[in-house]
Structure 1
Amino acid sequence: MIIRNKTRQIKVGGVAVGGDSVISVQSMTNTDTKNVPLTVDQIHRLQAAGCDIVRVAVLDPQAAAAIRPIQDEITIPLIADIHFDYRLAIAAMENGADGIRINPGNLGGEEKIALVVDAAKQHGVPIRVGVNSGSIEKDLLQKHGYPTPDNTAALIESAMRNVRLVEKHGYNAIKISIKSADVLTTINGYQQLAKITDYPLHLGVTEAGGLIAGTVKSSVALGILLSQGIGDTFRISLTRDPVEEVRVGFELLRALKIRERGPELISCPTCGRTQIDLFGLAEEVERYVQTMESPLKIAVMGCVVNGPGEAKQADIGVAGGNGVGIIFKKGEIWQKVHEDKLLEVFMAELKKMEEEGQKK
């Protein structure tokens, strides 16, 4: 059983972060924020995948102004990601951002930070103090050296120094992130940070890579931390369609039995005994289940060795044979279908079960 690390709770729009709230899954758009229709379309796809909180890059005043029409079209909290220009943080909040992500150390000094904090107070907007290994202040790098698995002091001191800057101006609706591209540095850094603060923690491995490398690195680091009760919200960072980040995020939570959304799909790795087009079948089923919300267990198996046993344990499953597939429902053989019709029949039954689940 995972025992959560005790943290204070803040609200990002209508989503609670920290305390006893569910661990939220975040992503970030990769569109030009000024392109409102394109950004809204991507956020809608993220929402459909289950994304709890979305972040957009605010590079200029036009992007800050675009937050207002974007907010009019979406129903999940929106965070503005700002660097270097404190005026963009203020403008983003004035235009309806539910949260801001800043590194106070690069906003131009304490006077400007005070203006940002005043705006956050006025609009009731929480602040994520986000520090990355690649953007640590020079004096801390000289003092501690570049962050490594055995030496995360620069990351932690940078984060807490910047938190104190916000606190100094009377504000504590804060969450913290200390991201590194290195898995062990990420793990050790957050473990140390969790010992010295009760602010909610945003987890992530920055610049993790593409689908395979990024998924592996993020899952190892975040999986270890979440299993230890550390972390209140997170983003899986992939060089990929951001919808994939959300999919990986929910699969990670499911694997740890922390949170489930939609069906669980199991499929065999294939071997020389496979006699149907399992790749094509599994890919089509996987594509469809991304849009489902019913907590079904679905099995797509390729042969008669483990296939029938696994398929029978699922709510619905298929086990392939020589040019045919046997479809099981609730542990019983439901139908034997020729391979040519297998995908069509299986998908039709999946859709029917989804519709029935939504009516309950």
Structure 2
Amino acid sequence: MSIRPWRDIIRRPSRQIMVGNVPVGGNAPITVQTMTNTPTEDVKATVEQIRRCEEAGADIIRVSCPTEEATAGFKQIVRASTVPIVADIHFHYKRALEAADAGAACLRINPGNIGSSERVAEVVRAAKANGCAIRIGVNAGSLEKDLLEKYGEPCPEALVESALDHIKLLQDHDFHEYKVAVKASDVFLAVAAYQQLAEAVDCPLHLGITEAGGLISGTVKSAIGLGSLLWFGIGDTIRVSLSAEPEQEVRVGYDILKALGLRTRGVRIVSCPSCARQGFDVIRTVEKLEDALSHIRTPMSLSVLGCVVNGPGEARETDIGITGGGNGKHMVYLSGVTDHHVQDDDMIAHIVSLVEAKAAEIDAGRAVSMDVTHGKHS
């Protein structure tokens, strides 16, 4: 058995499509998505929620359009958003037509659920006319009756067959700007279905473990399922489905990608679980730092270790580090080198100021590099 280099992730080759101005598939970064949970008819509340998701780093946001009133407000929502908006459509093909005309970057729809071939053709024409992509969303909880009768229960083969049937409906109308999801709440079922689908198609794949659960349990399930697939190169865009606020889904999505080295956004905190050796309250310190540093988008690393057992070793590998010492006096590391001490009372504010300064330094360096690349400096 051949073993790959231990840190290599070789992504599955796929076609690239555009969701608004965001590329999905090919060699584009893996995008992070979420979905609003406000009534779409309430434009103000929906836009406010979208703002929070944008701040958290969402690349693409999905909005449900179940009624004519919802699609009436959809146009204002699209105009107010700085990221592409996907219209979530299930059975009413007219909602898809309305959403496409209202500026949807993508339609989440299963072509086989909206009726006749003529209706599918209408949706495809609207998508082409408005530059919309389409996401086919197969779900183990809503498989077609004929497939359930054929296979007896939801299984990887049933999910993949459903996806291929929906793909054919689009291809029959010469539409190829689509991505596909085969989601299930069962981690094993979802992973196996995506593995089979990845071998059968060349389109981008949207990953998700659906109905994953609450913030903690759903994060664990999603990390196992999505992490397994991403580790083996499968997946071009992800949504972490949690019974939590949508911005939390975005943060968890980035944490999964950061853990695999696939995206680097914001501060990556390395911290110990704490023990009796700790020189300060690690748990509360990390909680406060995560909140205080949530606005930082610059990729960088911070180690927060309660004592000097593993602290110095971890601090040498991060941009900024702190290790607990005695008498409320702790060592601060900059670029892996011991630099100065800080007292308990000043620690949080001091670390935040160091991170902000480091982020500004990194951003300035990148700006100069970009200027040089574009010939603005000799």
In the alignment, which of 296, 309, 332 is matched to residue 327 of structure 1? 332
Structure 1 match to 2:300: 296
In the alignment, which of 57, 78, 92 is matched to residue 99 of structure 2? 92
In the alignment, which of 169, 173, 177 is matched to residue 169 of structure 1? 173
Matches within 5 A, 1:118-197: 118-148=125-155, 152-197=156-201
Structure 2 counterpart of 1:100, one-letter code: L
Shift, 1:335, TM fit: 2.7
Asked whether the 8 Å contact 2:273–2:283 carries over to 1, the reply is: no
Asked whether the 8 Å contact 1:105–1:137 carries over to 2, the reply is: no
Structure 2 match to 1:12: 19
Asked whether the 8 Å contact 1:298–1:315 carries over to 2, the reply is: yes
SS in 2 for 1:313: coil
For residues 287 and 128 of structure 2, the distance between their equivalents in structure 1, rounded to whole angstroms, comes to: 48
Moved more, 163-172 or 184-193: 163-172
Structure 2 match to 1:272: 276
Shift, 1:358, TM fit: 2.9
For residues 185 and 327 of structure 1, the distance between their equivalents in structure 2, rounded to whole angstroms, comes to: 47
Moved more, 90-99 or 1-10: 1-10
Structure 1 counterpart of 2:60, one-letter code: I
Structure 1 match to 2:361: 356
In the alignment, which of 203, 212, 220 is matched to residue 208 of structure 1? 212
Moved more, 76-85 or 333-342: 333-342
For residues 341 and 211 of structure 2, the distance between their equivalents in structure 1, rounded to whole angstroms, comes to: 47
Moved more, 36-45 or 154-163: 36-45
SS in 1 for 2:80: coil
Structure 2 match to 1:107: 114
In the alignment, which of 59, 65, 90 is matched to residue 58 of structure 1? 65
Structure 1 match to 2:374: none
Asked whether the 8 Å contact 1:32–1:39 carries over to 2, the reply is: yes
Asked whether the 8 Å contact 1:200–1:232 carries over to 2, the reply is: yes
Asked whether the 8 Å contact 1:126–1:174 carries over to 2, the reply is: yes
Moved more, 306-315 or 15-24: 306-315
Shift, 1:352, TM fit: 2.4
Shift, 1:140, TM fit: 0.8
Shift, 1:121, TM fit: 1.6
Cα displacement string for residues 253-300 of structure 1 (whole angstroms, at most 9, x for unaligned residues): 122222211221111011121232222211111123322122221011
Structure 1 match to 2:352: 347
For residues 161 and 175 of structure 2, the distance between their equivalents in structure 1, rounded to whole angstroms, comes to: 19
SS in 1 for 2:18: strand
SS in 2 for 1:340: helix
For residues 219 and 31 of structure 1, the distance between their equivalents in structure 2, rounded to whole angstroms, comes to: 26
For residues 112 and 304 of structure 1, the distance between their equivalents in structure 2, rounded to whole angstroms, comes to: 67
TM-score (norm 1): 0.95
SS in 2 for 1:297: strand
Structure 1 counterpart of 2:121, one-letter code: A
Asked whether the 8 Å contact 2:298–2:362 carries over to 1, the reply is: yes
TM-score (norm 2): 0.90
Asked whether the 8 Å contact 1:324–1:342 carries over to 2, the reply is: no
Structure 1 counterpart of 2:313, one-letter code: G
For residues 305 and 20 of structure 1, the distance between their equivalents in structure 2, rounded to whole angstroms, comes to: 41
Shift, 1:64, TM fit: 0.9
Cα displacement string for residues 84-129 of structure 1 (whole angstroms, at most 9, x for unaligned residues): 1111111011111110001223223333222211211211211111
For residues 301 and 47 of structure 1, the distance between their equivalents in structure 2, rounded to whole angstroms, comes to: 31
Asked whether the 8 Å contact 1:29–1:54 carries over to 2, the reply is: yes
Structure 1 counterpart of 2:84, one-letter code: P
Matched, 1:318 2:325: no
Asked whether the 8 Å contact 1:127–1:174 carries over to 2, the reply is: yes
Structure 1 counterpart of 2:269, one-letter code: L
For residues 194 and 331 of structure 1, the distance between their equivalents in structure 2, rounded to whole angstroms, comes to: 41
For residues 188 and 280 of structure 1, the distance between their equivalents in structure 2, rounded to whole angstroms, comes to: 39
Structure 2 counterpart of 1:104, one-letter code: P
Structure 1 counterpart of 2:90, one-letter code: H
Moved more, 331-340 or 265-274: 331-340
Shift, 1:143, TM fit: 0.5
In the alignment, which of 225, 239, 246 is matched to residue 243 of structure 2? 239
Aligned length: 357
Asked whether the 8 Å contact 1:68–1:95 carries over to 2, the reply is: yes
For residues 21 and 314 of structure 1, the distance between their equivalents in structure 2, rounded to whole angstroms, comes to: 27
In the alignment, which of 23, 31, 38 is matched to residue 30 of structure 2? 23
What stretches of structure 2 of length at least 5 have no aligned partner?
1-7, 366-378
Asked whether the 8 Å contact 2:179–2:203 carries over to 1, the reply is: yes
Shift, 1:180, TM fit: 0.4
For residues 337 and 27 of structure 2, the distance between their equivalents in structure 1, rounded to whole angstroms, comes to: 40
SS in 1 for 2:27: coil
Asked whether the 8 Å contact 1:133–1:146 carries over to 2, the reply is: no
Matched, 1:262 2:266: yes
Percent of pairs with identical residues: 46
Matched, 1:337 2:342: yes
